[in-house]
Amino acid sequence: MRLPRLVAAAIAIAGASIPQAARSQPVDLRITIPVKALLYYPVLAAKDLGYFAEEGINMDIVVTQGDGPDVDALIAGSVQFAATTPNRLMTAYEQGKPLLGIMTISKRIAVNCFMNKEKADALGVSEDTAIAEKLQKLRGLTIGGTRPGAFTNLLAADYVKRAGMVPQQDVKVIGVGAGPAMLAALENKQIDVGCIASPTPEIAVSRGKSIMLINNTRGQDPEFDEFLFSVLYVRPEYAKTNPDVVRKVVRSLQKANAFIIDTPFAQQLPVLQRIFGELDPAILREALINTQSGIEPSGRISQHSVEAAEKLLISVGSLSKPIPWKAITDNAFLTKR
């Protein structure tokens, strides 16, 4: 039996008014991040604020406690995306397992290094000491990153080499884990310096037992002022067969970046505390300021940033030679702001 015209028209209008995300089943996706740090606040905020859901995405965020396993999961196909440091983007290409960087989240290295205050006082090092002098003072010390092969450890090794020294010979570089484990290692004098993303360095300084040694997120080290760091990866074949899904994920992260950059701290505080716990607001404010200064609003990956990352990886022996930047990056999925 045919419906009366007015009824049929009413049904059609009602159906047109329902958002697409509500009319179709959400897409279940998984994304890895190496640690739960401010560096990956855009990913965590995109879920907390419902930006993924607005795009019809049910996003599961997997924290792997250090970079390495996060990209292994992407290569294996158990996740569709990874937001992580750039080292595996380049080394995977060299190993014949190409991945694709489709958005930069942070335009600077967002790993900051903090030093045990007693050791700093003994060496005559302060936050205002020139970086070249700070690096020379590392001789004989132990630097802790999250795990061997992680970017935190690669950065530490690069600092040792920049000072004309040999990692593991003149300065020990070890893995001690993330967050609380690194704080405990430094305060118990198992390491002298820790390198990790916010908010751990800010927490360490607030406890009075550490000083901020090098704040890369603020651009304190000019070597890393424009550097491909926090990158959204995808497998090239997935991007080719699911371009609309990829654009939706990118758009969600761009919304999160805009929120983080443009929203006053007081309005972000509840979000920050939901994600990172009931930390002192002063610590979160400082960590947020650091994070905001490193975010690239457009998400665009620049050639210079890729070349800067390759230079560091070549210096520590993780990469044998430069890779054409367009072989491992694609800005086509970005939405112009």
Per-residue confidence (pLDDT) for residue 337, from 0 to 100: 60
> For residue 189, which of 89, 117, 277, 240 has the smallest C-alpha distance?
117
- Reading the block at residue 201, the tokens are 């360095």
Query: Is the model's pLDDT at 67 over the cut of 80?
Result: no
Span between the terminal Cα atoms of the chain, in Å: 50
The CATH superfamily of 111-215 is Periplasmic binding protein-like II (3.40.190.10)
Please state the rounded mean pLDDT for residues 52-67.
Answer: 92
Q: What's the CA gap between 199 and 268, in Å, rounded?
A: 15
Per-residue confidence (pLDDT) for residue 122, from 0 to 100: 97
Q: What's the CA gap between 120 and 300, in Å, rounded?
A: 38
Q: What's the CA gap between 193 and 156, in Å, rounded?
A: 9
Per-residue confidence (pLDDT) for residue 79, from 0 to 100: 97
Query: In the block, which residue shows the tokens 């694709």?
Result: 100
Query: Is the model's pLDDT at 186 over the cut of 80?
Result: yes
What φ, ψ does residue 68 adopt, rounded to 5°?
130, -70
Q: What's the CA gap between 246 and 81, in Å, rounded?
A: 9
Q: What is the pLDDT of residues 289-313, one digit of tens each?
A: 988 988 988 999 999 999 999 999 9
Given a contact cutoff of 8 angstroms between Cβ atoms, the answer to whether 325 and 104 are in contact is no
- Of the chain, the percentage scoring pLDDT greater than 90 comes to 75
Q: What is the pLDDT of residues 15-54, one digit of tens each?
A: 444 444 444 788 999 999 988 888 899 999 999 999 999 9
Ranked by mean pLDDT, the top range of 137-146, 193-202, 213-222 is: 137-146
Q: Where in the chain is the domain with CATH 3.40.190.10?
A: 6-109+227-327, 111-215
Q: What's the CA gap between 182 and 190, in Å, rounded?
A: 9
- Reading the block at residue 75, the tokens are 């290569």
Please state the rounded mean pLDDT for residues 110-136.
Answer: 96
Q: What is the torsional sign of CA 111, 44, 255, 32?
A: positive
Per-residue confidence (pLDDT) for residue 198, from 0 to 100: 86
Question: Which class does domain 6-109+227-327 fall in?
Answer: alpha beta
CA 233 to chain centre: 11
Q: What's the CA gap between 23 and 17, in Å, rounded?
A: 10
Q: Three-class SS string for the chain?
A: CCCCHHHHHHHHHHHHHCCHHHHCCCEEEEEEECCCCHHHHHHHHHHHCCHHHHCCEEEEEEECCCCCHHHHHHHHCCCCEEEECCHHHHHHHHCCCCCEEEEEEECCCCEEEEEEHHHHHHHCCCCCCCHHHHHHCCCCCEEEECCCCCHHHHHHHHHHHHCCCCECCCEEEEECCCCHHHHHHHHCCCCCEEEEECCHHHHHHHCCCEEEEECCCCCCCHHHCCCCCEEEEECHHHHHHCHHHHHHHHHHHHHHHHHHHHCCHHHHHHHHHHHHCCCCHHHHHHHHHHHHHHECCCCCCCHHHHHHHHHHHHHCCCCCCCCCHHHCECCCCCCCC
Query: Is the model's pLDDT at 9 over the cut of 90?
Result: no
Q: What's the CA gap between 54 and 201, in Å, rounded?
A: 34
Model-level pTM?
0.82
Whether a cis peptide bond, with omega within 30° of 0, leads into 26 is: no
Q: What is the pLDDT of residues 133-175, one digit of tens each?
A: 999 999 999 999 998 988 899 999 999 999 999 999 999 999 9
Query: Is the model's pLDDT at 334 over the cut of 90?
Result: yes
Lowest mean pLDDT among 120-124, 224-228, 247-251, 257-261: 224-228
CA angle 204, 207, 210 (to 5 degrees): 50
Reported confidence tier of residue 8, pLDDT bands at 50, 70, 90: very low
